[in-house]
Chain A
Amino acid sequence: MHITINGTSQQLISVKNLSEIVSSYCKQSKHVITELNGTIIPSDQWSKTNLQDGDALELVTFVGGG
């Protein structure tokens, strides 16, 4: 199935939950914020949230800024 992560199309071989996605795409999960199809998913819900074909996911974190 295909999902879009941060605007880029990604192919997933098997169904994955959000927690698995965060671990495979982010260096660490601390301070990562997820927004699935426009809704923020708190980190305690990640393992219960399965990705579906066509989902749009945003993975966001903190960077330097003024």
Chain B
Amino acid sequence: MTDSSLVIAGKSFTSRFLLGTGKFKNKKDLSDSITASGSQIVTVALRRIDLERHEENILEHIPSHITLLTNTSGARNAQEAVRIAHLAKASGCGNWVKIEVINDSKYLLPDNQETIKATEILAAEGFVVLPYISPDLYAARALVKAGAATIMPLGSFIGSNQGLKTKEFIQVLINEIDLPIVVDAGIGAPSQAAEAMEMGADAVLVNTAVATAQNPQGLARAFALAVEAGRMAYLSGLPLKLPLGSASSPLTGFLYDELPAN
């Protein structure tokens, strides 16, 4: 079956599985998981350098052909997100930024309003902006207007592995928004990633589930297959759900001419 590429800001990708690089136990797990995932876009974050502990540079473990997507984690408002995006761009590692504005420490839900403000500013400056939001049609429409390159609605709370709790709202975005929809956050199992793709999501981003698995490399591969399976199912057109049984083999003409009465 032929599939079109995922196109974000004019750049084509054959993989529809984005991988986050946080929480990995060691750099080998990270590196092996990136390879196993087949991901062509991976997310990274920016932090102050620890002056006591000379840490390794994470970018050394990410192959150079991969598109880096720097998130603005740690930003509590639009202004801080813009500052982080500027710092990321100054590194010379591209201008792709995932806007993540969070000022709630309990649920870690993104602030859609501040995200829209940051997207307006950064898109106008020429950044490729991928905003992470709570799935909301009006916020998504505002982001389209602001110049976002994709919309990244959350499936459930970050790092919760709860799957697609916001399924119906993500479906609205898939139906109504004319930008790639990348389901991000909360996806804890390959079946959930497949479900998002079957609904017609354009891509899925996973981090915690892979990074904290017993075998991260194995789960990265499982997610990649699930994303591909879900995509193929979507393109093939899933049949309708029926309320009653519908036989897949003929039930009459062998022992009975008619089905036995109940």
Q: Which residues of A contact B (CB under 8 A)?
A: 5-8, 25-28, 30-33, 35, 40, 42, 58-66
Contact among B21, B87, B91, B185 with A64 in the assembled complex (CB-CB below 8 Å): B21
Across the interface, name the chain B residue whose C-beta is closest to A27.
Answer: B54
A66:B49 contact, CB within 8 angstroms: no
Measured CA separation A66–B71 after assembly (Å)? 7
B73 at the interface (CB under 8 A from A): yes
Which residue of B is nearest A41, CB measured? B90
- Pair A62/B22 contact, Cβ less than 8 Å: no
B206 nearest in chain A by CB position: A66
Residues in B lying within 8 Å of A, measured CB to CB: 20-24, 30, 43-49, 51, 54-59, 70-71, 73, 86-88, 90-91, 93, 158-159, 185, 205, 207-208, 211
B58 and A33 form a contact (CB under 8 A):
no
Q: Which residues of chain A come closer than 8 Å to B207, judged between CB atoms?
A: 65-66
CB-CB under 8 A from A66, the residues of chain B are 20-23, 43, 45, 71, 73, 158-159, 185, 205, 207-208
Q: Is the CB of A40 within 8 A of B87?
A: yes
Report yes or no: B47 in contact with A60, Cβ–Cβ below 8 A.
yes
Least CB distance from B254 to A in Å reads: 56
Question: Across the interface, which residues of A come within 8 angstroms of B91, CB to CB?
Answer: 31, 33, 61-62
- Name the contact of B49 in the complex, choosing from A40, A42, A60, A64 (C-beta under 8 A): A60
Q: Can you list 15 A-B contacts (CB < 8 A)?
A: A6-B48, A26-B49, A33-B91, A40-B87, A61-B46, A61-B91, A62-B57, A62-B58, A62-B91, A62-B93, A63-B44, A64-B21, A65-B73, A65-B207, A66-B45
